[in-house]
Amino acid sequence: MEKLKRHKIGLFSAIMLALNSLIGSGWLFGSGSAAQIAGPAAILSWILGAVIIISIALTYVELGSMFPESGGMSRYAQYSHGPLLGFVAAWANWISLVTLVPMEAVAAVQYMSSWPWSWANWTKNFIKNGSITFAGLGVVIIFMLIFTMINFGSVKIMTHFTNLISIFKILLPTLTITVLIASGFHGQNFGSNLHEFMPYGSRSIFEATSVSGIIMSYDAFQTVINMGGELKNPRKNI
């Protein structure tokens, strides 16, 4: 019997997959939410979140290199603590991942509603006061189905689609950030003293890190770990 050939993800595609996951709606919505909670000091929340996630990610990178398996994040607890904790960890990881598709679908509809092109701004009819209307939920479900079919189709289709999208997701935000800084950066927005920089106290920095979406944004590093079984030379590329 002829053995089926499986498409393996190369290093470039793995990097694009990770960046595509990291540069999602979390950092866009999280920026506004963190600023509301911590004010200008929210920038410290992002740094704190990065330090926390890097320490966690390094551990999982080591595990991913040792045990390159698909769905690896759900299996390590089983290896170390047995099937019961492995079952709980797998379900917790699955729940956290399955919520991403509807979140991105909602974000897509909200983003498109502000675009100036007629093929996209029809979605503004489904937005009221910045939130999705009941009728808009149908559009969100359609987006969910499209995203699901792209991922379900095959690893090859998913990686090619991800590579294309990731390039735009890197270039456009970088261009936007550069233009905004060059045209309208005002250092006084950070305040002239500690109270203005940290109007809600140091506690708000930790609160913004945990509840505003910062950790969720960084947590997307696990995409590569979970795709370990689909990577070429995973012990090196992870």
Residues 141-170: tens digit of each pLDDT: 998 888 777 767 666 676 777 777 778 778
Cα(79)–Cα(184) distance, rounded to whole angstroms?
52
Of 48, 21, 20, 45, nearest in space to 31 by CA: 45
**Regions in the chain scoring below 70 on pLDDT:** 1-7, 151, 153-156, 158
pLDDT tens for 112-141 read: 888 888 777 788 888 887 788 888 888 889
Q: Which single residue is written with the structure tokens 């974000």? A: 107
Q: Sketch the domain layout of the chain as residue ranges.
A: 11-175+199-237
* Cβ count near 61 (within 10 Å): 15
* Structure-block tokens of residue 135: 């009728």
Q: What is the pTM of this model?
A: 0.71
